Structure 1
Amino acid sequence: MKILIVEDEERLASFLFRGLKAEGYFCDVATDGEKALQTCLSGDYDLVILDRMLPKKDGMYVLTKIKEKKPETKVLMLTALDDTEDRILGLRSGADDYLGKPFDFEELLARIEALSRRFSQHAEDLLKSGDVVMDVDQRLVWKNNIVVKMTQMEFDLLRYFLTNQGKVLSREKILSRVWSNSEDPMTNIVDVYIRRIRVKLNDDGSFIETVRGVGYRVSNSDQR
């Protein structure tokens, strides 16, 4: 996991950085809320260890923005506030776990490992290509970390492309798999729905490529 440590207490931040690096995690540090948001939203972090009380931007505000822009990112909140209502607020705002200060480092590692397992399980339900991400279980699609609303059929069609990246899919094959042969094979419904998806993703044809005389293809993300 790639971890962002957000902690304004220099000694604690340094301790966490050194300890987690020693455990094999890749870590970065931000010491205030503004820097945390800038770093998290411009990076690709699996987990954010987020202090509740931060300068410039409060931890709860940072949490809300992270979950709004990058909902797949796990957040473990640290707090010196021994307040049940505060913890409930954090969890309801999207925090994946909560740990009160002072804490035992071994307990922190155990919490991270638990979140790591949840991340691995969830990653199986995530389909990605370039800046397009699909959560199969939640039936959500993001483009550049912004949610894109899709109908059921648009979602199913895009899912078929993302699970077959690099393959050229004929109209007949798409009709068979997505529409289950319920449509006339001469219909242009595939082209209609691909146009709809392209509009919603602001795609000029470089994402869902047209292979003339054959069909369509979404290239592997590492080839684009």
Structure 2
Amino acid sequence: MRILLAEDEKELSRVLIAAMNSRGYEVIPVYNGQDAVKKASDEIFDLMIFDVMMPLMTGIEAVKKIRLAGDKTYIIMLTAMSEVDDRVTGLDSGADDYVTKPFSLKELLAKLHSLERRNENYTEDVLGFGDITLINTEQRLESYNSISLSAEETKLLNLMILNADKKLDSKALIEHTWPKNEGVDDNTLWIYISYLRQKLHSVSAHVSILGEKGGPYRLMRNSEVDNK
């Protein structure tokens, strides 16, 4: 699981990183809300953990910006025990859960493990972007007409829709689409990107996958591509 950690107290950040790394999680630290928003807009994360009080932009302000951009990544807020209003405001702004300071690492790691199991077993039935609809349960892509997808194409397009408009590198796409023991490389990914491009064209979608072989790749509305 890949985690964005936005915590300006560097000693606490180091402790959290060490604890999460020990469980096999990859942690990307930032130390202010502004950098958190930038990272969230550029990269794929399975979870984001934000402190409420940070320089340049608070955690609550950062969450609002991330949600307004359409990012649905699960977010946990870190709040002080006395900050009841911040917990409510954080949830109202788009956070999914919170942990109160001081907290036990055991409690936080238990939440992460629970979320990891949830992510493994849960996928939204229907996702949309632009004029396309992906029905995950039926492995079907719809726009002006519809077409069937393979299991791998479905997983890949699902990931790209959830991270639409982001430049996604090959490594992240491969890790989130195929089991680690399958040994998938850039060449295989390129083949599936090509398949998806053909199928988007076949349903007359006004959505495109940008990028050359080797990545990064980016799912965008054609109107946005034309304006670039």
* Structure 2 residue aligned with 1:140: 127
Structure 1 residue 163: deviation in Å? 4.8
* Structure 2 residue aligned with 1:194: 203
1:161-203 residue CA offsets vs partner (Å, 9 max, x unmatched): 365849xxxxxxxxxxxxxxxxxxxxxxxx99822x2x2x147
Q: Whose helix proportion is higher, 1 or 2?
A: 2
User: Rg: which structure is higher?
Assistant: 1
Find out whether 1:160 has 2:148 as its counterpart.
yes
Secondary structure at 1:8 match in 2: coil
1:187-224 residue CA offsets vs partner (Å, 9 max, x unmatched): xxxx99822x2x2x1479x9xxxxxxxxxxxxxx9xxx
* Contact 1:80 1:100 (C-alpha < 8 Å) held by counterparts: yes
Distance of 2:143 and 2:31 partners within structure 1: 39
TM-score of the aligned structures, taking structure 1 as reference length? 0.61
- Percent sequence identity over aligned pairs: 31
Distance of 1:12 and 1:81 partners within structure 2: 16
* Contact 1:51 1:77 (C-alpha < 8 Å) held by counterparts: yes
* Contact 2:144 2:203 (C-alpha < 8 Å) held by counterparts: no
* Structure 2 residue aligned with 1:128: none
Structure 1 residue runs of 5 or longer lacking an equivalent are 126-134, 143-147, 167-190, 207-220
Distance of 1:93 and 1:165 partners within structure 2: 33
* Contact 1:41 1:70 (C-alpha < 8 Å) held by counterparts: no
Structure 2 residue runs of 5 or longer lacking an equivalent are 135-140, 155-199, 218-228
What letter matches 1:45 in structure 2?
Answer: F
Report which structure shows greater RCO (CA 8 Å, sep ≥6): 2
Secondary structure at 2:148 match in 1: helix
Could you tell which deviates more after superposition, 89-98 or 47-56? 89-98
Structure 1 residue 54: deviation in Å? 0.8
What letter matches 1:106 in structure 2?
Answer: K
| Pair 192,21 (structure 1): closer, same or farther in 2 beyond 3 Å | closer
Question: How many residues in Structure 1 have an aligned counterpart in Structure 2?
Answer: 162
Could you tell which deviates more after superposition, 101-110 or 18-27? 18-27
